[in-house]
A and B are shown apart, each in its own frame.
Chain A
């Protein structure tokens, strides 16, 4: 498809930008404080950090203010900003067992070590609008607490490890030489390495990831899991100190993690040189910046679906899913349709007019009232 550029219109474009700003400000009143966005629009901030693929609550909040609450536009701003900032390091790999959990539930087992902790959740509440918020003056609330003297650095056993101990799920072997693919530095070549797929999924647009995950549940895929575990909590960010050469912690990030148990599969493994067949559960994995249960769950569904060696449905197709879940690409391409297409459309007009006039070879004149097919 060809595209012919246009030029001019600078004054109108600049004014159009000013009009947007005018619309944001024309009612007057107090400007929204960045701290207010960070503290009272937490899920929106988390969504922007996740899709913007850059963890900074300040940056996300400023972008949201600039985008007047549009998360897609805000994520776009964040991605654009991050492209101007140098990459200074890769963190050391963090294991999710190190998470300081705020929330941890398992829909697959009733009794789990450490227990089911709902944390901040409205999963079990009615969705009724609280009209009293319209007149809320001050923010003040005493949180519910229950005495708990358990060690703060206690590692909580994973439900899937619990299943592994019973032989229901394979124990994976860590490959120390594995270097994760980086889709921000390397092109996407299909079939895509699983580490690249996970990176692509975790920064995917919330609605798109959710929709494809949902499609799989509804039958446009084969994955309909039982969730082993949903966790929300803080993971440490560790780097190698540039002068000491030792591991140091520089901060922590809030993440949501999901492990989903999918159908069981037959595997052929070698035990003492002899090939044997074994049935075990397969798993899907989701880990995203911020607190967003449904995106992490959908990611875990898609992770499993995309492991398919013989895709039978769209959501098992790597190209179909991974090329269409990125906010920048999808909104960019859809939005480009709003740009002037005068020249390219002219050729379509000419063609149709020629057909109507019966000038084109092999065509016939379209009679009045007859639809052109």
Chain B
């Protein structure tokens, strides 16, 4: 599992799912808070589809934190306002980079988070699928519709 995927899984995880591992690391290892959790804004950019122009959709409220553990930085950025979760994520990511013996433990949890996320998305997909519809054209099929569909 790549570090970028691990980062993404932890940043988007429920706090309750990662808190025990963060607490374990906090007790076990010395770490220094380089930047206390604080709120900041990220301007969200999207590409519109008419001319493929980038534009600024609006800002997203984030919480970021940074710690140092064994001279390695641990960085987190999570959506919303949750200082505790931001700090916990920074600790876990810091440990991941600094202490190789702990990586298996982190990857194991990351895999659980991935499964949970996939399960949530699968449920969303199945709920959406239950609303898939085929409207019928009254008075018979418009031949143009078929023509376009067949490309």
Residues of A at under 8 Å CB distance from B? Answer: 49-50, 53-59, 82, 85-96, 100-103, 109-111, 115-119, 121, 143-148, 150, 152, 158, 160, 162, 165-166, 172-175, 178-184, 194-196, 198-199, 202-203, 235, 237, 239, 241-244, 246-253, 255, 259, 283-285, 287-289, 303
Instruction: For A94, list chain B residues within 8 Å (CB).
Output: 44-47
Instruction: For B50, list chain A residues within 8 Å (CB).
Output: 160, 172, 259, 283-285, 303
Task: Summarize B's interface: helix, strand, loop or mixed.
Answer: mixed
B58 part of interface (Cβ distance < 8 Å): yes
Whether A119 contacts B41 in the complex (CB less than 8 A), given A54-B59, A59-B61, A110-B145, comes out as no
A to B CB contacts below 8 Å, 5 in the list: A54-B60, A96-B49, A175-B53, A198-B55, A248-B7
Residues of B at under 8 Å CB distance from A? Answer: 3-4, 7-8, 11-12, 39-62, 64, 73, 75, 77-81, 118, 121-135, 137, 142, 145, 148-149, 151
CB of B8, distance to nearest CB on chain A (Å): 4
Q: How far is the CA of A150 from the CA of B118 in the complex (A)?
A: 12
Instruction: For A88, list chain B residues within 8 Å (CB).
Output: 40-42, 62, 64
Contact call B149/A53, Cβ cutoff below 8 A: no
Contact call A237/B44, Cβ cutoff below 8 A: yes
Contacting B79 at CB < 8 Å: which of A146, A241, A251?
A251
Q: How far is the CA of A144 from the CA of B123 in the complex (A)?
A: 10
Q: How far is the CA of A257 from the CA of B90 in the complex (A)?
A: 34
Instruction: For B126, list chain A residues within 8 Å (CB).
Output: 145-148
Contact call B135/A110, Cβ cutoff below 8 A: yes
Contact call A96/B64, Cβ cutoff below 8 A: no
Of A58, A91, A144, A181, most B-chain CB atoms within 10 Å: A91
Contact call A119/B128, Cβ cutoff below 8 A: yes
Contact call A90/B43, Cβ cutoff below 8 A: yes
Q: Which residue of A lies closest to B72 (CB)?
A: A243
Contact call B44/A91, Cβ cutoff below 8 A: yes
Instruction: For A175, list chain B residues within 8 Å (CB).
Output: 52-53
Contact call A180/B53, Cβ cutoff below 8 A: yes
Whether A287 contacts B57 in the complex (CB less than 8 A), given A57-B80, A87-B40, A145-B126, comes out as yes
Q: Which residue of A lies closest to B74 (CB)?
A: A243
Instruction: For A235, list chain B residues within 8 Å (CB).
Output: 46
Q: What 10 A-B pairs have minimum CB-CB distances, sorted nearest first?
A: A88-B40, A251-B79, A56-B61, A148-B129, A144-B130, A118-B131, A195-B55, A249-B8, A53-B58, A145-B126
